[in-house]
Structure 1
Amino acid sequence: MKNAALIREVRGVMTKFEPLTEEIVAVCTQDGLTYEELSDALYSYGLRIDKVVHDSTRKIFNTFYADYDMGLYAEVILQRQYIFGAGQAEFEKLAEHGGKCRSLAKQDWKGYYLKDVPLAMLIYDFQLRYKSIPRETVFSVWHSIYKRIDYSNGMWPLPVLREVFQCAPAPQLPALESDGLITVYRGMGALSLPPDQAVSWSTHPGNALWFAVHSGRGTKIAVARVRPDQIVAHYPSYAEENEVIVLPGAITEYRYEDMIPAVEETVPRLMAPALQSYLEFGKQVRTLGYEREVLFEVHGLLHILRVLFLSLIYIYNSGDALSESDRQILIYFSLLHDLGRVTEDVDDVHGERSVEQIHKRGIRLRGIRLSRKEYRIAELIIAQHCRDDDTGIAAIMAEPGLSRKEKEHTIHLYHICKDMDGLDRVRFNGLDYRILRTRYARRLPLVAGCLLEEDLLTPLDMENPWA
């Protein structure tokens, strides 16, 4: 699981701006750079060391040349090798402006904040300059900055937000529900502030989930009901995350979805009982012909391994009274359900092709011992997993040779299999967790997101991965 503090430094901004001193340089340098050497290097390009600021709370991206008046910014790495190497090119770029930054001089605000102000310095510059930006454009400039910074809640001064939000154009509101309110969702990670301090929400739970899991440390999905007058802006498309902007503090009543958080206290405990089975069956996946996914591919080796792991997590943690044959059917499905997939497009017959491949290749999995009827049930689920529920259930109910009770139990297994496959849709921002069929699956979306960050292949290649 990723280091949350490091993520915040990489994707966030500086919050302290101390003048650079000889003591700071001495503490930070690893190759003997001195304050005087840095001063001379900057001076040779017409730059001044008193414009360098430092944030002692950060380990990386913590020192910048910041001439606010001229709009000139550059990262400064406090190492002699950098200052007299790659840093020379950065200093030369600043000197080329011959004074004020060109995009700032032209008042090309979005270009200025996109190209000329480093990510770590965006809030620093904007909060000092926003009153100079035309009223009709200041909100869109703010929003373009806001979208680039992760975990910036709490870093924006509230008085600045109040003034900027007053300049927002009238929003295109989402459709009102019967009580005149709008349901909004917020995905939260280890670094997120509480919902009552939040700026961004979404009208679609799938977008909220994507935000929660994209760092591998999703902790909660918050749900709130808002009045139209509480909405500052709305961006009604999936590409724009169906985002709703509110003033921090506007939402005071909310609830959390019943989901297991993807944190160090929970995920290892869920994974531990599944590990031995994962090794046993995961090692067989390579022999089945699945290729590792490349760019723009989402159905392949890693997808199969994640579905397998999710199925094992369900088996060992859900409390569902599954028989040994039930467990084997879930594993059989996990490994073989996409064997016949030949395209990344929607394909409602690849389940049938997967069953054809199983028979054509005479595939039998080590550790799976099912009766003839149980194999037929497993293959029926595979054949129908890519069809809508009504069609799949109708096919199961029409299957000859199964009693009414067996058909109902097969439908239960069908729902579990579709949920475990569906949970991995988090990998392409495609999961609406509200449509998951089983109670325990609806608790797993954040865990499914965590698996996207796990190295599932290396343990399969090791002789004794747990030594």
Structure 2
Amino acid sequence: MSNLSYYKEVQGVMTRFEPLTAAALEKASVDLTIAEIQTALEQHGLDFKYIVHDPSRSLLSTYYADYGRGLYMELYLHRNILDKQFPLYQVADELKGAAVPELTAGAWKSYYTKRVPLAMQIYDFQRRYRDIPTDEVFLVWHDIYKRIDYSNRMWPAEVLEYVFSHAPVPEYPESDADGLITIYRGMGELSAPPEEAISWSTHPGNALWFAIHSGRGTHIAVARIQPKQIVWYTDKFYNENEVIVRPGTISEYRYEDMIPATEAHMPAILAPAIMNYVSYGKQAKKLGYQEENIFHYHGLKHILRVLLLALIYYYNAGDALSEADRQILIYFSLLHDIGRVDDSKDDAHGERSVSLIHSKGLRIKDLRMCKKDYRIAELLIQYHCRDDAEGEAAIRAIPSLSQREKEHTVHLYHICKDVDGLDRVRFNGLDYRQLRTDYGRKLPLVAGALLNEPIVQVLDMDWGSGITL
């Protein structure tokens, strides 16, 4: 089972609600019978008819779902379901046939948070939404909606129409000069098409994050809408700058010009870069970069991703780049953060990196760079963490470069800043509108896909045995 499939089950809802059968037990390869489960349930006042099963799911496939009492529980198809200490039985014994107290009290947010498993929340809500007071129903729905990453098109149109008709009047996002509002939607292989989607964002960075985390990223859709199409808006980046739109009201949109991170596209752009990546990536492992973790973003994997993105750029962009440029890009990728001491914003770490290169006499094996190339590469490293204008001015101030060489070096500077910046997708920090190069702006979805690739393990493969992409 892939990580994505597992995540989709954990963060998504059931789509089929079938009775649990002997055939399903046999398929699950468990030493259980229907009769044993029925007997165990009856001992605690429970009824087998309330078990629902989704054969399309591998792990989280079976639930006890007594809608009337609000009694739900995930059931693992294992013999521990017969144990008297099984959690479902403990809850049932406490209730003594009554409904769960949150349901009785009409404490709806608490009910859906504490009592209804995520996989069953649409199943439950669509059956009782008209029982929820009209001044609460939208906010209850929205809490559920935010918790579910994969609704699997299970929201009935009539439910959404009713809920949205009772939404509070929102504060609208800032509109453009023509009165329209620009919104973005990140899409992956698992996403609904834009014309069916209700969840968008006013910030492209949020949209990119969703594209990367919805299967392999395929598109960033952009639409311009009228305020009346908006049901709800939650501002701030940590709230995803989310815009809920009325279903079926978006028919005109465009896609950003990005390379989809799909199996149809990734091998072609990786193929020319991979052998250089393996060769120089092995050297990166010897430079002393730390392993990355949730508290450390600028470690070995960051260096390797920047290296791979630089090589992808070199071999695929179609720019007039020379062999010397390839070596400068590799040198930059491997050494640009060698002087970093932590993950804070640090405008001086480029300069420290250059000082460390000199003090330790660092060189990259198999790079045949002349003195001018080293000077350019180290200038790119020194200024990669500074404002563009400052770096460009420093390049144009080099007296030994011709005007043409200065402009070309500025272009290399932009490439280096882009391939480094593209890896900001790892902490949801990339605003792709700020990228400087045409081809760099095509790579955000590719950069996102690299986060899930075994980029360190690849270096240890036996590439001489004919491994193909």
Q: TM-score, normalised by structure 1?
A: 0.96
1:91 aligns with 2:89: yes
Does the CA-based 8 Å contact 2:201-2:241 persist in structure 1? yes
C-alpha contact (below 8 Å) 2:174/2:181 kept by paired residues: yes
Q: Is the 8 A contact 2:36 2:82 kept in 1?
A: no
Partner of 1:240: 239
Check the 8 A contact 1:4/1:190 in 2, yes or no: no
Answer yes or no: is the 8 Å Cα contact 1:231–1:244 preserved in 2: yes
Point out the more displaced range, 373-382 or 96-105: 96-105
**1:338 to 1:69, Cα distance in 2 relative to 1, 3 A:** same
Paired position in structure 2 for 1:78: 77
Q: Kindly indicate whether the alpha-carbon contact (under 8 Å) linking 2:347 and 2:385 is maintained by their aligned counterparts in 1.
A: yes
Cα distance between partner residues in 2 of 1:189 and 1:291: 31
Residue 428 (1) aligns with residue 427 (2): yes
User: What's the offset of the Cα at 1:18?
Assistant: 1.8
Report the identity percentage: 59
**1:382-410 Cα distance to aligned partner (Å, 9 max, x none):** 00000111111111111232111111110
1:15 aligns with 2:51: no
1:217 corresponding residue in structure 2: 216
- How far residue 73 of structure 1 moved from its aligned partner, in angstroms, is 0.6
Distance 2:54 2:28 in 1: 15
Deviation at 1:135, TM superposition (A): 1.3
| TM-superposed deviation, 1:6 | 4.7
Q: Quick one: distance in 1 between partners of 2:284 and 2:94?
A: 57
* Matched-pair contact (CA < 8 Å) for 2:38–2:47: yes
- Relative to structure 1, is the Cα distance of residues 138 and 308 closer, same or farther in structure 2, using a 3 angstrom cutoff? same
Q: 1:463, CA displacement in angstroms?
A: 4.5
What residue number does 1:192 align with? Answer: 191
For 2:82, the aligned partner's letter is F
Give SS of 1:19's match.
coil
Deviation digits for residues 74-121 of structure 1 (CA, Å, limit 9, x no counterpart): 1122232x3135972333234323321122222221121112111110
Do the aligned partners of 2:51 and 2:63 also contact (CA within 8 Å) in 1? yes
Assess if the C-alpha contact under 8 Å between 1:190 and 1:219 holds in 2.
yes
Identify the residue that residue 373 of structure 2 maps to in structure 1: 374
The structure with higher relative contact order (CA 8 Å, sep 6+) is 1
Alignment coverage as a number of residue pairs: 465
Distance in structure 1 (CA, Å) of the matches to 2:83 and 2:390: 65
Amino acid at match of 2:12: G
Partner of 1:368: helix, strand, or coil? Answer: coil
Q: Where does the alignment leave 5 or more consecutive residues of structure 1 unmatched?
A: none
Aligned in 2, Cα 1:233/1:111: closer, same or farther, shift over 3 Å? same
Q: 1:59-458 counterparts in 2 under 5 A?
A: 59-80=58-79, 82-84=80-82, 88-98=86-96, 99-152=98-151, 154-215=153-214, 217-458=216-457
Cα pair distance change 1:293/1:151, threshold 3 Å: same
* Native 8 Å contact 1:184 1:202 kept in 2: yes
Counterpart-to-counterpart distance in 2, 1:400 and 1:452: 41
Deviation at 1:125? 0.4
What's the secondary structure of 1:321's corresponding residue?
coil
What secondary structure does 2:30 align onto?
A: coil
Contact 2:187–2:214 under 8 Å retained in 1: no
1:263-306 C-alpha deviation (Å, 9 max, x unpaired): 11111221122111111000111211110112222111111111
Q: Distance in 1 between matches of 2:319 and 2:93?
A: 67
Deviations 1:404-442 (A, max 9, x none): 111111000000000000100101111111111111111
Contact 1:185 1:201 in 2 (8 A): yes
How big is the shift at 1:134? 1.5
CA-to-aligned-CA distance 1:361-384 (integer Å, 9 cap, x gap): 100001211110110000001000
Query: What is the CA–CA distance in structure 2 between the aligned matches of 1:285 and 1:147, rounded to whole Å?
Result: 40
